[in-house]
Amino acid sequence: MAGQQAATQVSTFCALCVSRCGAKATIADGELVALHPDPSHPTGTALCVKGKAAPELVNHRERLLHPLKRTKPKGGGDPGWQRITWDEALDTVATRLRSLAREHGPESVVFSATSPSTSAMSDAMDWVMRLRRAFGSPNQCVYMELCGWGRYLASMFTYGAPVPGTYMPDLDHAGCVLYWGYNPSVSRLAHATSTVAAVGRGAKLVVVDPRRAGLAGRADHWLRVRPGTDAALALSLAHVMIERGWFDDDFVRHWTNAPLLVRTDTGGLLRASDVSPTGDPAHYVAWDEAGGHRVIYDPARGRHAVDEARLALFGTYEIATTAGPVACRPAFDLVAEQCRDMEPGAAEAITGVPAADIEATARTLWESRPVAFYTWSGLEQHSNTTQIVRAINQLYAMTGSFDARGGNVLFPSVPTNPIDGAELLSAAQRAKAVGVGQRPLGPARFEFVTGEDVYTAALEGRPYRVRGLVNFGANLAMAHGDSARGRDALAALDFFVHADLFMNPTAEQADVVLPVTSAFEAEGLKIGFEINEAAQSLVQLRAPLVPPRGEARSDLQIVFALATRLGLGEHFWDGDLDAAWRHQLAPSDVTLEQLRAEPAGVRVALTTRHRKYAAVDDEGVPLGFRTPSRKIELYSEVLAEHGYPPLAEFNEPRTSPRSRTDLAERFPLILTCAKSLWFCETQHRNIASLRSKVRDPQVELHPHTARERDIAAGDWVRLDTPHGSIRARAKFNASLDPQVVCGQHGWWQASDDVGLPGYPPFGPDSANLNLVLRQQPSDPISGSSPLRASVCDIAPLATTEQSAEPSLA
């Protein structure tokens, strides 16, 4: 046909989730027509259904194309959106934010962004943090308590590092892969394909999940744990390993604080100052079992006064102190005692996992080392999240696989200049983070504030009133529990600006809405692809595949434009994004010109070093770990000093049929939820090819549970919790425990292209799971909401309810 251009193939990567799968894009007549896997890319073995739907996402007729401003008061059905220019939008936002900072302090403004795990925000997240810090706010709301706390921050109390968040599973060399609350087939396809390859070469696979989903069907051991009881299972596995001697004795003695003595009178670690008037209070005490005397451990030197092989791990020892004799026990003896309470029979009664399976799995974890493990939000949305993570971290330490080939490894990174602006926020401002007073060790300590605390600050003024919100794509009202409270909190703000691809229930509460490009219409710089050394060595500048729709701008362009309007241009290279990227890339010796000339990316030679904690400095002092003891801390003094248990322990979920017997008769079932293969959280249900595969919201339940309630497969049902009811279709899953049901969050969008309705996010006929879940009782350390372990019941919808056509009214 005259004028028709030949189709071209462009190297790129899909940025829709954390997998960042390498891809080839087909461009024809200036349009993106297809996205396919690129096997030459380190993450390009496969591409999920969401990535393949990229052309529909780019070309969707519901995309936001122009800046909008509200002209009618909040609380009504019609915001009265009016199209405005970018200049008016940016001037309005900058003026309002400066006013809030001047009158109430910059901390009165929260900056929020959708999770980089399930969106393209990885392109801009560090720059959003830089903008926030340059502005002077300590408050960043990115769901850290729901998606990240377990992988990145809770492990700091054990390893002093994000494990497994940055210490990634070395799947290419693992002898055993352990996935706990993680389904990479849905969450990170690059891990799923690497795991299949690992199993194909003989690696063992252990999956802990209430559902037999994804790779669980190929696992050597699938442990169907009762939601929220994962700590009991981890302690039981550790018990078997300790009792059988299936733990790395040398690693535990040398690189954990297991030998340090704990006083039985105070429960605290014994200090050198306790045993001698001249002793250093920063030094600890262990027991030399071979020599029959105490020895001092100086964390600054990273070594004990004797060979660690001589140190006692078990027993009780009477130690002469300045205040008299005190009975003391090695920390590992206390760990063993804690685990002994969870012998497999006891753990079976709690977790539902058969004792024989616990025994067999413990053997596999020991005999098939090295172990590589990963966790996800299946462990991060509980009222006892931190203890769950501590127990699993402890179990993993016993394998001795940390930072070893085939274990969890900190792969090398291409050298770059940091750009998150950590130096721009003062300590005084950082101390004002919302929620840090209530949870001093929680996410707010790291400037990540919880949704619960933001809502409280906006509605109740505690600890002060949050008045402004700058939000990049986060659908807060749908993604957090207490959806209606979230809507009210957003409505209570003095000013709210929202940037996104589509209008959604959160954006509808905004004063100004900014249209954002999809990742396929904008440049995006990715330095390292995380999953192995080869992936880490790749630097890729994703080229725009097609021009932006309408007046849409990328998140990065919005950040830099807003920074200059706020008078912060000096921290943003006066709005010159290329100059900023050049600064970021400078240490790598990779140039923008190279990257633009080579869309498939540029490789930087890297070499992985293992067991980096054992490397020594010029004085022979081992690097160790970034903890107070410079060891992996099975016993955490930091937690103890703040009134939390220093040893990992099991706590029954705070809303379960066992802990809330008053609710058990009315709500006898345990409610959990899981990610969907077809959608990224609250997005994409308007994409025809995806929605046609999952037409309606679903709740999975065991056939026996359904029969007891006269429910047939595909029936509309009412899911009842103590906080209300929503609708869903029944889907049978015989792998579930009959007492467990699994819902789906994020349902609200209609898909007109296939004639499927939307659902009101609030009120009757809603399918919004988070509308009937609460943010409390939350984890006492992290504030993590109990979205994965609650109580419910299910009943058939009445005939009149089934015939009512839901709408997005």
State whether the Cα torsion 693-697-700-701 is positive or negative: negative
Q: What is the pLDDT of residue 218?
A: 96
Q: What is the mean pLDDT of residues 801-807?
A: 52
Q: What is the pLDDT of residue 366?
A: 98
Q: What is the mean pLDDT of residues 289-308?
A: 93
Paired residues of 756 in beta bridges: 751
Backbone φ, ψ for residue 571 (5° rounding):
-90, 0
For residues 206 and 215, give the distance between their C-alpha atoms in angstroms, rounded to a whole number.
9
Q: What is the mean pLDDT of residues 618-633?
A: 95
Q: Is residue 24 within 8 Å of 36, Cβ to Cβ?
A: yes
Q: What is the pLDDT of residue 106?
A: 98
Q: What is the DSSP letter of 219?
A: -
Q: What is the pLDDT of residue 117?
A: 86
**Cα three-residue angle 504-505-506, rounded to 5 degrees:** 90
Binned at pLDDT 50, 70 and 90, residue 807 comes out as very low
Is 299 strand, coil or helix?
Answer: coil
Q: What is the DSSP letter of 686?
A: T
pLDDT, tens digit, 9 for 90 and up, residues 211-257: 999 999 999 999 999 999 999 999 999 999 999 999 999 999 999 99
Is pLDDT at 808 greater than 70 in this prediction? Answer: no
Q: What is the pLDDT of residue 77?
A: 82
For residues 38 and 460, give the distance between their C-alpha atoms in angstroms, rounded to a whole number.
51
Q: What is the mean pLDDT of residues 725-747?
A: 97
Q: What is the mean pLDDT of residues 433-461?
A: 97
Q: Is residue 773 within 8 Å of 785, Cβ to Cβ?
A: yes
Binned at pLDDT 50, 70 and 90, residue 605 comes out as very high
Closest CA relative to residue 529, chosen from 603, 612, 607, 609 = 603
Is pLDDT at 799 greater than 80 in this prediction? Answer: no
Q: Is residue 94 within 8 Å of 536, Cβ to Cβ?
A: no
Paired residues of 287 in beta bridges: 294
pLDDT, tens digit, 9 for 90 and up, residues 49-70: 999 999 999 999 999 999 999 9
Binned at pLDDT 50, 70 and 90, residue 1 comes out as very low
Paired residues of 262 in beta bridges: 269, 329
Q: Is residue 97 within 8 Å of 468, Cβ to Cβ?
A: yes
- Please name the residues in contact with 78: beta carbons below 8 A apart, sequence gap of 6 or more: 72
Q: Is residue 512 within 8 Å of 68, Cβ to Cβ?
A: yes
Burial of 80 (0-12, 13-18, 19+ CB in 10 A): exposed
Name the average pLDDT for the chain.
96
Is 757 strand, coil or helix?
Answer: coil
Q: What is the mean pLDDT of residues 361-367?
A: 98
In the chain, what percentage of residues exceed pLDDT 90?
95
Q: What is the pLDDT of residue 798?
A: 81
pLDDT, tens digit, 9 for 90 and up, residues 501-512: 999 999 999 999
Omega before residue 777 within 30° of 0, cis: yes
For residues 111 and 469, give the distance between their C-alpha atoms in angstroms, rounded to a whole number.
6
Q: At what angle do helices 483-492 and 451-460 cross, to 10 degrees?
A: 50
